[in-house]
Structure 1
Amino acid sequence: MRVTLLGTGDTTGTPTAGCDCDTCAEARRRGVERTRFSVHVENERTGESLLVDFSPDFRHQFLTREVPLPDVGIVTHIHFDHLDGLGNAYRLFDDLPIYAADETDPVTDESVAETVGRKYDYLDQVGVHPQSPFEPFEICGLRATLVPVEHPPLVCYGLAIEDPETGAKLSLSGDTNYAVPEQSRAVLRDPDLLLADGIVPASLCAKHPLGGDHHDADGVPRTFGSKHMTREGAVDLAGELNALETRIVHTAHFYPAEEAFEEPLAVDGETYEL
């Protein structure tokens, strides 16, 4: 299983358009990007690949990374930075199955699958396949399982992807705060690679109107506001899940420049063989 991190940034990416902060300037100096979130997973044994989330930067990502267009896609939630790239299916695909959760969101009165189907009903290429959380499904010779996480106010899902022949496992926290339910943690546990949402360092919680939440024993917040984990929360979650390797994704340009490119923060283009 070959994993390529196509997009490792938050909703504005790094560098952020029109921003001259030290972190964006340093990203330009280094020649690195964190575009909006998307992960490519290739089963080299079968020659098939899947895409987790459809970044608005889809075109740029596939022009700059040497990965094939996906055979199928998975959508974790309906925020634009994870979904709106699906419009790129126009003229690129003859058929593109999309897998998404079937639970009704009380905020939207639709499931993620229903929202995808409604929003992209004009694309004949896109076929939506609703999936129940915690129930594994087979795609590209791999086994995938969606699990609920906490990203208020909308429903959002993490994901485990396993190769049934080799035992390799990739886990994605999804966009979430630290309060990932224990049943979901059980599915995500023991990955070879964990991609964990860590939008900012905990030190920046003082600047959020809601502050921080889910503090550790030393009082360090593991949630920034209510929607995302801090870097420290991502690291703690990785430890609890017994991740062999962890990359922090969905990071914002608000990281201080001297911290923004330190381990284990990911940048676009990283590849992993599991």
Structure 2
Amino acid sequence: MRVTLLGTGDTTGTPTVGCDCETCLAARERGIERTRFSVHVQNERTGESLLVDFSPDFRHQFLTQEVPLPDEALVTHIHFDHLDGLGNVYRLLDDLSVHAADEVDPVTGESVADAIRSKFDYLDRISVEDRTPFESFRACGLDVTLVPVVHPPLVCYGVAIEDPETGAKLSLSGDSTYAIPEESRDVLRDPDLLLAEAIVPASVCEYHPIGGDDYDENGVARTFGTKHMTREGAIALGEELDADETRLVHVAHYYPADEAFEDPLAVDGEVYEL
């Protein structure tokens, strides 16, 4: 399994348009990007590729990274930075299966799968496949399981992707607070690689209107506000899940410049062989 991090940034990416903060300036000087979130997973046994989430930066990512266009895809939730890139497949692909959860969101009154159908009804070459959380399905020769996480007010899902022949496993936290349900954690557990959302360091919680949450025994916030994990929360999640390696993604430009590009914070273009 070959995993390429196409996009490792949050909803504005780094550098952020029009921003001259020290972190964005440092990113420009170093030629580093964190575009909006997307992950490419290639099954090297079959030659097929699975795309996790459709970044609005889809075109740029596939022009700059040496990966093939996807054979299948999945969507974790309907926020624009994870979904709106789907429109980029117009005229590029003859057909594409897009997997998404069938659980009805009480806020929107429709599932992620139904939201994709209604928003992209003009894309007659895609087929949306309804998937039930916790029920594994096969995509690109890999076993894939969607699990609920905590990203209010909308439903959102983490993902476990496993090669049934080699046992290689990739887990993604999804956009979530640290308070991922135990049943979901059990599915994500013991990955070779965990991609955990870490939008900001815990020190930034003081600037959020409601601060942080899910404090550890030392009083460090593992959740930023109500929707996202802190760096400290993501690292703790990796330890709790016994991940062989944890890389932090969905990273905002609010990290101090001297911390923004240090391990385990990921940047676009990283490649992992599992």
Instruction: Tell me the amino acid that sits aligned with residue 56 of structure 1.
Output: P
Distance 1:210 1:136 in 2: 37
* Root-mean-square deviation (Å): 0.3
Shift in Å, 1:29: 0.9
Shift in Å, 1:228: 0.2
Partner residue in 2 for 1:165: 165
Q: Classify the secondary structure of the residue corresponding to 2:263.
A: coil
Partner residue in 2 for 1:180: 180
Instruction: Tell me the amino acid that sits aligned with residue 41 of structure 2.
Output: V
Partner residue in 1 for 2:155: 155
Instruction: Tell me the amino acid that sits aligned with residue 169 of structure 2.
Output: K
Structure-2-length-normalised TM-score: 1.00
Shift in Å, 1:126: 1.1
Partner residue in 2 for 1:103: 103
Partner residue in 1 for 2:218: 218
Deviation string 1:48-84 (CA, Å, 9 cap, x unpaired) is 0010000000000000000000001100000000000
Partner residue in 2 for 1:13: 13
Partner residue in 2 for 1:45: 45
Partner residue in 1 for 2:198: 198
Distance 1:60 1:30 in 2: 18
Instruction: Tell me the amino acid that sits aligned with residue 83 of structure 2.
Output: L
Equivalences for residues 52-131 of structure 1 within 5 A: 52-131=52-131
| Unaligned runs of at least 5 residues, structure 2 | none
Instruction: Tell me the amino acid that sits aligned with residue 17 of structure 1.
Output: V
| Unaligned runs of at least 5 residues, structure 1 | none
Q: Classify the secondary structure of the residue corresponding to 1:217.
A: coil
Runs of 4+ in 1 over 4 A off after TM superposition: none
Deviation string 1:189-240 (CA, Å, 9 cap, x unpaired) is 0000000000000000000001000000010000000000000000000000
Distance 1:132 1:210 in 2: 33
Instruction: Tell me the amino acid that sits aligned with residue 211 of structure 1.
Output: G
Partner residue in 1 for 2:139: 139
Deviation string 1:10-63 (CA, Å, 9 cap, x unpaired) is 000000001010000000111110000000000011010010000000000000
Distance 1:6 1:20 in 2: 24
Q: Classify the secondary structure of the residue corresponding to 1:115.
A: helix
Q: Classify the secondary structure of the residue corresponding to 2:146.
A: strand
Distance 1:271 1:110 in 2: 35
1:261 equivalent to 2:261? Answer yes
Structure-1-length-normalised TM-score: 1.00
Shift in Å, 1:89: 1.2
Instruction: Tell me the amino acid that sits aligned with residue 99 of structure 1.
Output: H
Distance 2:211 2:149 in 1: 20
